[in-house]
A = this chain, B = another copy of it.
Amino acid sequence: MLPQWIIERKRDGHPLTDGELSFFITGYVRGDIPDYQAAALAMAIYFQGMTPDETATLTRLMMQSGDTIDTSSIAAPKIDKHSTGGVGDKISIALAPLVASCGIAVPMMSGRGLGITGGTLDKLESIPGFRINLQPAEFISILKACGCSMIGQTGQLVPADRKLYALRDVTATVPSIPLIVSSIMSKKLAEGIDGLVLDVKCGSGAFMQTPATARDLALALIGVGRSMGKRVTALITAMDQPLGRTVGNALEIRESIDILLGRGPGDSTELTLQLAAEMTTLAGFTPNPEAARPLLLRKLETGQALDVFKTMVRLQGGCDGIVDTPALLPSAPLRQPYAAPCSGFVATVDAGSIGRAALLLGAGRTKTTDRIDPAAGLSALVKVGEQVTAGQPLAILHAATPEHISTALPSVQNAFTIVPGPVTPPPLILERL
C-alpha cells in the first residue's frame, strides 16, 4: 500500500477502509508519511467528505495515536462539555465547578484562543499562578479532590490531532466537518469520559454561521460519540452577539465568578444552568434537564459551586484570593467607555466585530505564537433588546495603550446597531439534539 493510493481513492470519492485509515494515520504520526501527503489527503477529505463510519474510525485511530487518561479509579460518572467556540464564551469556568459540586467528575481538557475565538486556557492563566500543564496523575488527583480539573492537552495525548491540526491550519483544510469532528472527539474521548454535552455555536461570532451547518456538525459529533458508546447530547446556541457582558481573559474570569455567586449576566448564567442540567442528566442524577434546575440553583445559592472553583484554583497553583479580591486579577491601565451615538433599542451587538475588537485590544492572537494581554478586552457590553440613551456606554474598552483603543474602535463602532423601536431579544438556545 502506498499513501498516494489512499489519497487517490479519497480524491475519487470512495470511502476509505479501516485498514487504509489506520495505515495513513499511524504512518503519519510515526513520521513515515510526510506532511505533504497528509495535506493532500486533508484537502481531498475537504472536497469529498467522509461517511459516519469513516469519521468514527478516523476519530478512534486519532484517539489511539497516543496515551489516554485512565479515569477508572474515579467512581463518579465522568461528564464533560465541549463548545465549538465563540466570543465571550467563558461558560466552562463556572460550569465545571457547578457540575462537580453535584458529585459528577468533570475532566476537562481545553484549548487556547485563536482569531476571534477565546480559549479557556488563556482565561484560566489570567489567574495568578494557575497551572494548566498537569501530568495525568496530578489531573486525576485534583479530580478526586474537588470533582473538576481544567488542563491543556498533554504532549502524549492524541499526537495525531496535534500534528494534523497544525497542518490543517496552514493548508486551508480547517473547515471540514469530518476533520473537525475527529479533532474534537478524539481529544474528548481520550479524557476517559462517560458522557459529553456539546455546545455548538451558530452565528456571526462562530465557526458555523447558519443553523443548518451547525446542526450538521452537531449531528456528526453526536454520531461519533454514540458510536463509541458514550452518552452525548448537543445544544445549538446563538453566537450572533457575545455571550455575557465581557470579552477578554481576566474580565471573563470576573464574570465567571459572578455566575458562581448567582449574580452573573442573564444569558451566560442561563446557558451555564442549561448545560449543567444536560450533564446531570447524562450522569443519571436527574431524570431530565428540567428536573435539574432546583438542584443547580441550590448549589449556586449555598456557595458549594464557588467552593469547588476556589479549591480547583488552589490545587492548580492559582491564587483563590481573586474571588474575594478581584483586584488581584490583571487589570488594564486604560478603560474607555464607548458611548451610544443615539437613543433607542439595541438591535445588534455583532459577535464577529466584538471578537475582532477584543483581538485588536490585545486579548487574542492571530498566530499561535502571539502573546496576549490578559487584562485587555471589553466589559459592560449591552445586550440585544436593551433600551439605551444617547451617551450611555454600550461597552467599556480595556487596553494597555491608546493605540490599542484607536485600532479597535472601528470594530467596536461596527458592532452596534440602535433602532428607534423595541427589539425582541433573540433566543439563546436554538435547538437541543
Chain A residues with a Cβ under 8 A of chain B? 3-5, 7-8, 11, 34-40, 42-44, 46-47, 167, 169-173
Contacts and interface: CB of A to CB of B under 8 A. Distances in A.
B4 A40 contact: no
A11 B47 CA distance: 9
**Which 6 pairs, one residue from A and one from B, show the smallest C-beta to C-beta distance?**
A43-B43, A40-B171, A8-B172, A7-B172, A35-B36, A36-B39
Contact of A170 (B11, B37, B44, B171): B37
A44 B172 contact: yes
Contact of A40 (B5, B11, B34, B173): B173
A47 B44 CA distance: 8
Nearest to A3: B170
Contact of A11 (B3, B35, B38, B43): B43
Contact of A171 (B7, B47, B167, B173): B7
Most B CB contacts (10 A, CB to CB) among A5, A11, A36, A44 go to: A36
B4 A36 contact: no
A117 to B, nearest CB: 17
A36 B40 CA distance: 8
Nearest to A366: B2
A366 to B, nearest CB: 10
A171 B46 contact: no
A208 B167 CA distance: 33
Contact of A35 (B7, B34, B173): B34
Nearest to A48: B47
A229 to B, nearest CB: 35
17 contacts: A4-B170, A4-B172, A5-B172, A7-B172, A11-B43, A11-B46, A34-B36, A35-B36, A36-B39, A36-B167, A39-B40, A39-B43, A39-B171, A40-B42, A40-B43, A40-B173, A43-B44
Contacts of A42: 40
Contacts of A46: 11
Given A39-B171, A40-B42, 5 more contacts: A4-B169, A4-B172, A7-B43, A36-B171, A37-B171
A35 to B, nearest CB: 4
Given A11-B43, A44-B43, A46-B11, A36 B170 contact: yes
Nearest to A171: B40
B35 A171 contact: no
Nearest to A35: B36
Contacts of A35: 34-36
A91 B40 CA distance: 36
Nearest to A9: B172
Contacts of A7: 43, 171-172
Contacts of A173: 40
Nearest to A43: B43
B40 A172 contact: yes
Contacts of A4: 169-172
Nearest to A45: B43
A18 B359 CA distance: 31
A8 B172 CA distance: 5
A8 B173 CA distance: 8
A39 B172 CA distance: 11
Contacts of A5: 172
A339 B240 CA distance: 76
A382 B39 CA distance: 46
A44 B41 CA distance: 11
Nearest to A8: B172
Contacts of A3: 170
A177 to B, nearest CB: 15
A170 B44 CA distance: 14
Nearest to A169: B4
A249 B377 CA distance: 71
